């Protein structure tokens, strides 16, 4: 089996703990924003097939059949399942980043092994 060739990155800046955690949290926020755009597009997909999308031109010559509506609904449901799964991963990633920030550098905390599970989401 061949070895992986990992390039040397000599010009990387010297990041501090807070910088690293902040960059991870910013990347999570950007991914969440992308997911929100996907959710919006899925909502517009449903509106389009129903002919209720504001400013929709041209309007469908014939209304969508029940089978067409169900097909779009299944597609949207599949996409929503993927978005929910991705959102859960992002939630866990954010929890790890926050625990990383809260951990004492060089301490004997959870530096190795499996990390503690992310906290449960707070219900409004």
What digits encode the pLDDT tens for the residues 46-98? Answer: 999 998 888 887 766 788 999 999 999 999 999 999 999 999 999 999 999 99
Q: What is the pLDDT of residue 9?
A: 79
Of all residues in the chain, what percent carry a pLDDT higher than 70? 82
Specify the pTM: 0.72
Q: Determine phi and psi for 115, rounding to 5 degrees.
A: -75, 160
DSSP secondary structure code for residue 98 in this structure: H
Question: Is the Cβ–Cβ distance between 118 and 96 less than 8 Å?
Answer: yes
Average pLDDT over all residues of the chain: 86
pLDDT band at 112 (very low <50, low <70, confident <90, very high): very low
Q: How many CB atoms lie within 10 A of CB 49?
A: 20
């Amino acid at each position: 089996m061949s070895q992986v060739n990992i390039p040397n990155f000599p010009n990387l800046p010297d990041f501090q703990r807070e910088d690293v955690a902040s960059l991870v949290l910013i990347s999570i926020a950007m991914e969440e924003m992308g997911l929100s755009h996907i959710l919006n597009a899925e909502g517009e997909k449903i509106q389009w097939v129903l002919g209720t999308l504001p400013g929709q031109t041209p309007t469908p010559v014939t209304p969508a059949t029940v089978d067409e509506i169900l097909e779009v609904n299944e597609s949207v449901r599949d996409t929503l399942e993927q978005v929910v799964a991705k959102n859960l991963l992002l939630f866990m990633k954010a929890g790890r980043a926050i625990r990383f920030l809260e951990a004492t550098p060089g301490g004997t905390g959870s530096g190795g092994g499996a990390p503690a599970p992310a906290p449960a989401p707070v219900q409004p």
